[in-house]
Amino acid sequence: MNRLLQRQIEKHLGSTDAAPAELQSLFTAISDAYDGFDADRRLIERSLDISSQELTEINDRLREEIGERKAADHELRQSLSLLTATLESTADGILVVDRSGHVKGFNKQFAAMWRIPDAILESGQDERLLSFVLDQLQDPQAFLVKVQQLYNDPAIDSNDIIHFKDGRVFDRYSKPQLLEDEIVGRVWSFRDITAQVRLVQQLKDANRQFVRVNKELNDFAYVVSHDLKAPLRGIKTLAGWIAADCADRLDVEAKEQLSLLLNRVDRMHGLIDGILQYSRIGRITEEITQVDLNELVPQVIDLLAAPEHIEITVRDELPVVECERTRVTQLFQNLISNAVKYMDKPRGSITIGCTSDDEWWTFSVADNGPGIDEKYHERIFQLFQTLSPRDAYESTGIGLTLVKKIVETNGGRVWVESELGRGSTFFFTLPQKIRGELQNEKLQTSAAC
């Protein structure tokens, strides 16, 4: 650029060497200024190039941050939408307050549970809301005391039961609201437990009724065992005297009638004992112990003293079971004695067996007796039901009913597999380990009795 300026001066003035000293000085100054300007221009151009690149980078970063903020804002909106939907769909009433107790928010269920009018909700006046709430409670002062305790100690959780004047009952829970480890308020939740409370009260009333009925049943059992047996003993004694004192004056028919009378008295005595045993199962309990059936079952067989033509065998190794000894004795006694009593074969066979799975013992008592028609498989377990004439076999019709009640009281089941003329097999199950709730039920029943 200096050369261009020098040529222009030489064109007008001739050689710059011939120019006056002033012009040469001016030329030099202009040339230096121009060189400085040119350097500044190049510096500015480089600066502009750098600034443009930085601006592009800054712009790109801003676009990226704006995109991230939009994504975060969208995610926040989704979270708020989910939180709102959750709060509005829950069955609990939710109330949020700040550190001073001013209402910050609540869900619709809260307003519905407390039956708060729209006018109070829309007023935004916490005092009106609190006054309306307190007016519904049985003990508003106690509620205020608990609330004040929470504001005095804002870090604690709290839970209690609220009773309303109209009989409703709420379960109240309160927890501090934290924001970056700082307590900024408190969240209250309210759950209507009126139905549960009423159910518990009904159960308590039913239990009291159960205790009362049990007492009446005990009293009835006492009357049955003493007052009814006493006249039976008198009748039997009197009939025995008549049979002995008047034997020479009674014909064969009269003697048969007296014998039938004595048998009916014995049967009535057996019915009374059976009813008493049935009523005591599940109502009067004894200690649950470990009972070795390998010892107990042979004792039962010996006591029954079966006729010589009937063979009773234990096929399998029997387990040690957790049970009431008296009840499990009744189980085997009734099933084996039934098989003995109704045996119709010249060579009778009764086999006792046991199998197991992960939870249950399954016992069986099989015989080669007359068998039972399938249509009677359920009926035989009902009270006082027998399939043979009572005079043919002395039976009260209670034995299998006792078996069924004992087994079911212990959580098991009983059934029969049989065909008419082909013998019968009675099965029943007992738990390998008595369940905790069954044990508690037995203890509670025993305590109530």
The yes-or-no verdict on residue 3 having pLDDT over 60 is: no
The yes-or-no verdict on residue 191 having pLDDT over 80 is: yes
pLDDT at site 293: 94
The yes-or-no verdict on residue 340 having pLDDT over 80 is: yes
Who's near 193: CB < 8 A, 6+ residues apart? 161, 169, 170, 171
pLDDT at site 390: 46
pLDDT at site 393: 46
Q: What is the mean pLDDT of residues 315-323?
A: 89
Measured CA to CA, the distance from residue 295 to residue 321 in angstroms comes to: 12
Using one digit for the tens of pLDDT, what is the confidence trace for 205-234? 998 888 887 777 777 766 766 667 777 778
CA angle centred on 428, ends 422 and 429, rounded to 5°: 145
Q: What is the mean pLDDT of residues 78-105?
A: 75
Helix ranges (H only) for 289-398 are 293-304, 325-341
Using one digit for the tens of pLDDT, what is the confidence trace for 379-436? 888 765 555 544 444 455 677 888 898 898 888 999 999 888 889 999 999 998 765 4
pTM: 0.48
Q: Which of 164-178, 351-365, 433-447 has the lowest mean pLDDT?
A: 433-447
pLDDT at site 391: 46
pLDDT at site 57: 76
The yes-or-no verdict on residue 12 having pLDDT over 60 is: no
